[in-house]
Amino acid sequence: MDDLSTLLGDPVNDPEEDAFVVFSQEVPFQSNLGFVDSQATELEVSIGGRDLTIRQSHGLLRSDRKKGTTGAVVWKVTPLFAAWISSPNFLSKNGFLRPESIAIELGSGVAGVVALTLAPHINRYIATDQDYVLRLLKQNITDNLPVTRTKKPKTKKKAFPSVPEGKGSIETLELDWELNSVSSLPAQLGLHESAGVDLVIACDCIYNESLIEPLNDTCAQICKLRSHVEQPKPTICLVAQQLRAHHIFEAWLKSFHKNFHAWQVPDALLTPRLREKSGFVVHLGIVR
């Protein structure tokens, strides 16, 4: 953790004070909660010179599904976070994120934007969400993977999508924070016993207080898969979110601080569109 403290500065010590400071900044008004465009059935998103076409489910978003529907569309922070995490950053420059790394995302939603942009830089990317999301998530991933062709095909065949040779794979997995234990994850994912993953990502997953404890507990459980094993680097947990309600953010930060040694990623280590006054914030945690 000394390396992270050198990079990130002082950790969060008083969540209430830190939440107050965060919301003391001027936050841009969002009339639509932070959707990119909830009316569009398809979105064109460009990240790092790569163009993605993302299918959304407007009908699902407006449905009365009791377990939630927010994963049906793309949120504004997601492409911004994807552009930052997939570009050279302090994690990759300091060995926390490497070509052999494994990342898991909680609450991926239907888009798969972070998966599609980060996977080519690492070994494996596991995108998780509830079952209602997975069909469209898989479709968006498949539709946006780079296209390759076999050499000199004997018959004319359409190009098939795949991850570029030597690059990381993208997998999807059903995971409900409120219902599922992560104890079976290593076996499900074929991970070496107790090796865990290198990076846990949660991107704009907090909308009400009932989700806070299940999300943070699940993040902590995944990080603890590695915590008692000798590893060169601990599992990093990154949480990116849009600033909406002060009381929700403060409740989240208190819970996160309870489970993690936590830092707010400083502006100097972020891209301009994620910095102070952008309306977004990124936190990093190392499980206690």
pLDDT, tens digit, 9 for 90 and up, residues 168-211: 799 999 999 888 888 888 888 877 655 789 999 999 998 889 99
Q: What is the mean pLDDT of residues 58-83?
A: 73
- Does a structural domain hold residue 58? yes
Amino acid at 185: L
Q: Which range, of 30-39, 167-176, 245-254, averages the lowest pLDDT? A: 30-39
Is residue 253 scored above 60 in pLDDT? yes
Question: What's the pLDDT score for residue 225?
Answer: 86
- Does a structural domain hold residue 248? yes
Give residue 148's pLDDT band: very low, low, confident or very high (50, 70, 90). Answer: very low
- Does a structural domain hold residue 138? yes
Question: What's the pLDDT score for residue 165?
Answer: 37
Q: What is the mean pLDDT of residues 105-127?
A: 95
Contact 125, 88 (CB under 8 A): no
- Does a structural domain hold residue 154? no
pTM comes to 0.88
Question: What's the pLDDT score for residue 217?
Answer: 96
Question: What's the pLDDT score for residue 167?
Answer: 61
Q: How many domains does the chain have?
A: 1
Give residue 159's pLDDT band: very low, low, confident or very high (50, 70, 90). Answer: very low
Question: What's the pLDDT score for residue 206?
Answer: 87
Question: What's the pLDDT score for residue 285?
Answer: 97
Tell me, what CATH number does 51's domain have?
3.40.50.150
Question: What's the pLDDT score for residue 157?
Answer: 38
Question: What's the pLDDT score for residue 168?
Answer: 76
Average pLDDT score, the chain: 85
Is residue 161 scored above 60 in pLDDT? no
- Does a structural domain hold residue 57? yes
- Does a structural domain hold residue 153? no
Full residue range of the structural domain in which residue 116 is found: 2-148+159-287
Give residue 166's pLDDT band: very low, low, confident or very high (50, 70, 90). Answer: very low
